[in-house]
Amino acid sequence: MRLVNLNVVFVSLLVLIEVVSVCNGRVLSPAFYRRSCPQIGRIVRSITWSKVAANPTLAAKLLRLHYHDCFVRGCDASILIDSTSGNNTAEKDAIPNRSIGGYDVIDEIKTKLEEECPDIVSCADIVALAARDAISYQFGRPMWQVLTGRKDGRVSLATEASRDLPSGNANFTNLQQQFAGLGLNIIDLVALSGAHTIGVAHCAVFQRRLNATGKGDADPSLDPEYAQFLRTQCTTPPNPAVAVALDANSSVSFDSHYFVGLRHNKGLLRSDAALLTDPRSARVVKSFQGFRVFMANFGLSMKKMGAIGVKKGARDDGEIRKNCRVVNAAN
C-alpha cells in the first residue's frame, strides 16, 4: 500500500518533473500544450486565482467540480454539459450535483483560451487545472502536477451521476468498492476525502446522524458536543438547506485539520466517520494529521483520479468542445 512518509522520502511538490501517465493506453503529459498553447498555465492560474481571491469559497467548489466530473464517465467534462429541454437531463442537474458551483469560472477560462488557442484546449483539462490552481492560491505555488491531454465527452446523464457519485452516507465497504472500481486504493480514498478540509455540507445531507434511531439520539460515532453544535445549526429553526463547514476548524483553509477532527469523532458525514471503522484507513488518517504527509499523498491521488477514464479522440467519442456547456454539432 502506497504511503508517502517524510521519514523515508519526501519529494517536494514544487519540483514538477516531466513524466507521463498511462491510463488504459491513453497518455497524459504535463507538456501536452507546450507548443499548441504554451500560455494555458498562465491563463488558467490568473483567472482562477483572481476569482478565489474575491471569493474563497470557490476553492472548494472548483475542487468538488473536478471530483464529481471524474467519478462519472471519467474526467471528460461531462458535468459541464447543460440539460436539453424535453430530451436529456444532464449530470449537473442530478440531485447530488445541484449544489455544485464554479461553472462560470470554467466558462471564463474557456472563452479566454478560445481567443488565444482556438479549438486546442479541452474543457476537461481546464477543470483539472482550475481545481489545482484554486487550492494552490493560498500557497502561492502549484501544489501538485496536473497532466493534460484529455478530450471532452459527448454524453451527460443525470441518472449516471445519481448512481456513480459516492454518497455522504456510505459505509467503508461501499466506499472502498466504489474507489477500487476506479483504480483507487485505500490511501487514495483517505487522501481524497481530505478535500473535506474545505467546503460545506447542507443539513439535509447529514441530518440522519443527529437522529440515528428516530428517537433524537445522535450517531454514537459523533462527538456529543459536536452533535449538539450541529443540532443548533440545523434545527434552530429547522432548515435542511443550512450549510455547515465540513471541517469545523478551517472551512476555507486547505490543511490537515480535517484528519485531526476526524480522530476526535468530528467527521461531519457518515462517509467521513467510516474512515475510522477500518484499521488500514484509520492508520492512514492518523498519519495524515501531518500536513506535509497529507499534501504529498493528496497530490499523488489527485493525479491518479485525474487519469480516470480519460478520452483521447474520436474513437472513444472525445472532442474539444467550443463551448463547455454544449457538445459540438455533428459534422
- Establish whether 188 is an annotated binding residue: no
- Establish whether 316 is an annotated binding residue: no
Q: What CA–CA distances, in Å, run from 162 to 65, 71, 243, 327?
A: 15, 11, 21, 21
d(CA 183, CA 69): 16
- Establish whether 69 is an annotated binding residue: yes
Q: Which residues pair with 148 in a beta bridge?
A: 29
- Establish whether 74 is an annotated binding residue: yes
The number of angstroms, rounded, from the C-alpha of 245 to the middle of its chain's C-alpha atoms is 16
- Selecting among 66, 68, 202, 264, the annotated active-site residue is 68
Residue written as grid cell 501517465: 21
Contacts of 15 (CB under 8 A, 6+ apart): none
d(CA 229, CA 232): 5
- Establish whether 255 is an annotated binding residue: yes
Q: Which residues pair with 29 in a beta bridge?
A: 148
- Establish whether 78 is an annotated binding residue: yes
Contacts of 234 (CB under 8 A, 6+ apart): 203, 207, 210, 240, 242, 244
- Establish whether 217 is an annotated binding residue: no
Catalytic, 68? Answer yes
Residue type, 82: D
- Establish whether 72 is an annotated binding residue: yes
d(CA 117, CA 308): 26
Residues annotated as binding site for Ca(2+)? 69, 72, 74, 76, 78, 91, 197, 247, 255
Residues annotated as binding site for substrate? 166
Residues annotated as binding site? 69, 72, 74, 76, 78, 91, 166, 196-197, 247, 255
Query: Would you name the residues annotated as active-site residues?
Result: 68
Residues annotated as binding site for heme b? 196
